Structure 1
Amino acid sequence: MLQQLESVKSKWGGKSHVIDRWLMDRQALLVSYCKLAGINNDSECLPDADEIANFCSALLDYLSAGHFEVFDILVENDTEGLNLRDKLYPELSKTTDAALAFNDTFAQSVTLEQAADLDSALASLGETLEERFTLEDELISHVHSNQRDPEVTL
């Protein structure tokens, strides 16, 4: 996912403040995800509750920005873009629902039973995020292929 993000940043970065900010937020979310998932970490300890809560907060912030700000900014005054958003929205909503389910399960506190499922839940969430980022990248690609420059700052 980080390699996909670097590819997107190199292809479309620097052309829109909105997209640049969104990609920076995505990068921060991915770094937090990798830390929580223990990627490149030899420790077999579970993350502490604050780490999980902080990740869940960042996840909700990222999801909210997409649904309530960025998606609309990217396609405003663009009939083709609005049609694309409407086409992608059901799939984006599925990824949102899966991420919200993760948040509902792990954000407040983690029981021993839940802790046993954290690794598999994180792996599933990783797949969900990868799918979401691919869908979001379709919107970004549309903006750039149509030479649109959404310059509203988030």
Structure 2
Amino acid sequence: MLTKLEKAEQKWGGSNKLVDQWLHHRRTLLIQYFKIAGLAPYTMPAKSLPKADAVKQFCAQLVDYVSEGHFEVYDQVVTECEKFGESSKERAQTLLPQISETTDAALDFNDKYTEADNDDVLMDLDADLSKLAQAMETRFAFEDELLEQLHEHHSKAS
């Protein structure tokens, strides 16, 4: 996921302040994910669970990232795509429901781990992180496709 993010940053970075901010927030989210998942280069001591506070902090970042997309970025990108014709607008609008499907996985993860009143819930963390990673990867691919739609038409207009 980080490799794909780096490619996205190289391709679209610097083209729009909001996009730069969004990609930066994606990077922050992924780093926190790697930390709580104990993935390289953020490996934890063997057989160690992350602290519940770290998981809750990740949940807050996850919800912030999802919200930022839904309430700030997507509408602006669709609006920009509208300037390039109906087909561009339609393609952008077809991506939004596909992105939204991944939101439930993020919100379910958040609900489970922010409302937990003891550390026993952390025993499910590996399996839940794996499911979440699949949803995040799908979401990022659709988001990148949305950015590509915008970038493709901006490049033609330049």
The TM-score, its normalising length taken from structure 1, stands at 0.89
1:94 has 2:97 as partner: no
Match of 2:121 in 1: 114
CA contact (8 A) 1:81 1:139 kept: no
Match of 2:29 in 1: 29
User: How far 1:110 moved relative to its partner?
Assistant: 5.7
User: How far 1:123 moved relative to its partner?
Assistant: 0.9
Gaps of 5+ in 2: none
1:138 has 2:145 as partner: yes
Which has the higher Rg, Structure 1 or Structure 2?
2
Match of 1:67 in 2: 70
Q: How far apart, CA to CA, are the structure 2 residues paired with 1:60 and 1:42? A: 24
User: How far 1:63 moved relative to its partner?
Assistant: 0.3
Which stretch shows the higher mean deviation, 45-54 or 109-118?
A: 109-118
13 and 6 in structure 1: CA distance in 2 versus 1, 3 angstrom threshold: same
SS of equivalent to 2:154: coil
Would you tell me which structure has more helix in proportion to its own residues? 2
Match of 1:9 in 2: 9
CA contact (8 A) 1:36 1:52 kept: yes
Counterpart of 1:37, as a letter, is: A
Q: How far apart, CA to CA, are the structure 1 residues paired with 2:117 and 2:51? A: 9
CA contact (8 A) 1:95 1:131 kept: yes
User: How far 1:17 moved relative to its partner?
Assistant: 0.9
Counterpart of 2:146, as a letter, is: L
Q: How far apart, CA to CA, are the structure 1 residues paired with 2:50 and 2:87? A: 44
Q: How far apart, CA to CA, are the structure 2 residues paired with 1:80 and 1:61? A: 30
Identity %: 41
CA contact (8 A) 2:78 2:93 kept: no
Aligned length: 148
